Amino acid sequence: MQTTRMYLILICCLLLTGCVKTKILDDIELIMTYGYDWDPAAETYKGTAVSPLYGKSEQMEIGGNFRYSGSAKTFQDISSFIQTKAPYQVEVGNLIGILFGEELAKKGVSDIIYGINEDPNIGRDLNVAIVEGEAETLLKQDYNMELTLSRFIEELINNNSKSNIPKMNLHDLNYRLTGEGMDPFLPILRQSEDSIDIAAIGMMKDDKLVHEIPYEQFFVFKLLYEDCEDHTYEFDWEEKKRTVAISSIRSTRSIHWKSKKEVVIKADISGTLTESKNMGVKNFQEKIDIEQAVSKKLEEEGTKLVKKFQELDIDPLMIGASAKGKFRDWTVKEWESQYPEIKITPSVDFNLDLSNIIQ
């Protein structure tokens, strides 16, 4: 009897010490998007956190958002500072988007990124983007949208990653920040009247924004960067003064090293001709003509893009990493000094495989 009671007391004690802090889903402040800006005057980071507001049923209060902001010198401090403003416990485990203000992007984002990397609560499949202007103003604006702001940004970037811009999540960004012979790039968001859109792709040198490429160059960049599927390209045929659209484009990209100083980026693409009013493809000659014209145009644009990259000494196409896998005696130093002089030739092979449904 006595021993049983002893055991009971022991087990009770252990049970009491066994409790851990609960994070009940509806009693926490779920931060889903973080925006960071650099405050040059105070030399601190300014963080803006957005958490969704759900009504009694999801349809009732659509797209409600709470915003909190705070300034501090490190990532963790910003979270703690935000806690002073939020009624519930602040949790960052469901973070799905990180935005950087333009100024911060130009200064360098690695401090924040490393801070985020150290928190085991945070996932790796989250979207990172740069904001034209300040992240805070973009996040604090009220929009009229169906989704909450965080989910809107997530869906916006995810869907565009399929068609317009290459995919770049936090892991990919880390990969390019740490790796040799590569530089990261991030989509740039712009605040329009009452919505948000993707304005450009920001090319970075290490962790600093150095260059932006506009929408017109998205396709060429993606073509040279990776395999793509289901793209659309609007082609201005200057010689014949016509504009045609090529849709359902599939491409495969490969890098061929001629020598240590000469490389060809080969892209084999095939697509369907649409919007070809007054320009049907009737015979082989016409088909070859248009194929060659498109290839030539894309190659020209590609060369322009690559030249620019070499000029800025950035390598978003990961040519250096490819060279590392190709040549045994590859070293970072040698590569970095050589990179601007290497001859990089984009070679595009376009194949028109289907015509339109309308003759």
Partner 1 sequence: MIRKKNSNIQKKNKQPKKDINSFNDLLPMMEKSDDFKHLILGSTKNIEIFYYQSLINMEKIEVSLFGKLEDAKVDNLDVLENLLPFSEAEITEDIKIIEEKLLTGFIAVKFINNSQNVLLIPAKFEADRDVSQPEIEFSVLGPKLAFIEDLNTNINLIRKRIKLPQLHVKSLQVGKITKTDISIVFIDGIANPDNVDIIEQRISAVEYDQIMDSSFIAQMISDNSQSPFPQLMDTERPDRVSSALVEGKIAIVVDGSPHVLIAPTTLVEFFASYEDYFLSWHIASAFRIIRIFAVIFSVLITPMYVAVLTYHYHIVPGDLLGTLISSRKDIPFPPILEALILELTIELLREAGARLPTKIGQTIGIVGGIVIGTAAVEAGLTSNVLLILIALAALASFTTPIYRMGNTIRLLRFPFIIFAQMWGLIGIFISIMFLITHLLRLTSLGRPFLEPLYPPRWRDFKDAVIRLPFSVQGARPIITTPKDKNRINLARTNAKRARRK
Partner 2 sequence: MNHFKPDISQMVSPFLLLYIIHATQIGEGILSFERQIASIAGFDAWISIILTGVLTTIIIVVIWKIIGDQQRDFMDIHQYMFGNILGKIFTFIFGLYLLTVSVIVLISYIEIIQIWFFPDMSIYFFLFVLFVLIIYICLGGFRTVVGFAFFSFFVTAFLAIFKYEAFAAGHVHNLLPVFNTPFKDIILAIEPMSFSFLGIELILIYAPFIHRFQSGLKWAISSNILTTSVYLFSAIALFIYYNDQQIQLISWPTLQLWKVINFPIVERFEYVGIGLHFIAIIATSCLYFWASIQCFHRLTNFSFRKMSIFFSLIGFSSIFFIHNFLMIEKITTFISRAGVILLFAYIPLLYLCHKIVSGVKKKHANN
Beta bridge partners of 265: 255, 346
Residue in 4, 84, 144, 178 binding partner 2, rule: CB under 8 A = 178
Q: Choose the contact partner of 282 out of partner 2, partner 1, none; CB within 5 to 8 A by kind.
A: none
Q: Choose the contact partner of 169 out of partner 1, partner 2, none; CB within 5 to 8 A by kind.
A: partner 2
87 sits near partner 2 (criterion: CB under 8 A): no
DSSP 76: H
Q: Which long-range contacts (CB under 8 A, 24 or more apart) does 19-25 make?
A: 23/89, 23/91
Q: Choose the contact partner of 125 out of partner 1, partner 2, none; CB within 5 to 8 A by kind.
A: partner 2
| DSSP-derived secondary structure for 149-173 | HHHHHHHHHHHHHHHTS---BHHHH
Residue in 1, 15, 25, 358 binding partner 2, rule: CB under 8 A = 15
CA–CA gap between residue 352 and residue 234 (Å, rounded): 14
94 sits near partner 1 (criterion: CB under 8 A): yes
Q: Choose the contact partner of 86 out of partner 1, partner 2, none; CB within 5 to 8 A by kind.
A: none
The structure tokens 């600093």 sit at 208
Q: Choose the contact partner of 328 out of partner 1, partner 2, none; CB within 5 to 8 A by kind.
A: partner 2
CA–CA gap between residue 16 and residue 7 (Å, rounded): 14
41 sits near partner 1 (criterion: CB under 8 A): no
CA–CA gap between residue 212 and residue 227 (Å, rounded): 22
Stretch that binds partner 2, among 98-106, 143-151, 169-177, 306-314 (CB under 8 A): 169-177
124 sits near partner 1 (criterion: CB under 8 A): no
**Is 55 in a helix, a strand, or coil?**
coil
328 sits near partner 2 (criterion: CB under 8 A): yes
State the number of CA atoms in the 13 A half-sphere of 186 facing the CB. Answer: 34
The most distant pair of C-alpha atoms in the chain lies apart, rounded to whole Å, by 101
Beta carbon of residue 53, minimum distance to partner 1 (angstroms, whole number): 9
327 sits near partner 2 (criterion: CB under 8 A): yes
CA–CA gap between residue 168 and residue 174 (Å, rounded): 10
Binding residues for partner 2, rule: CB under 8 A, are: 14-15, 17-21, 94, 117, 120, 123-125, 169, 171-172, 174-175, 178-180, 318, 321-322, 324-328
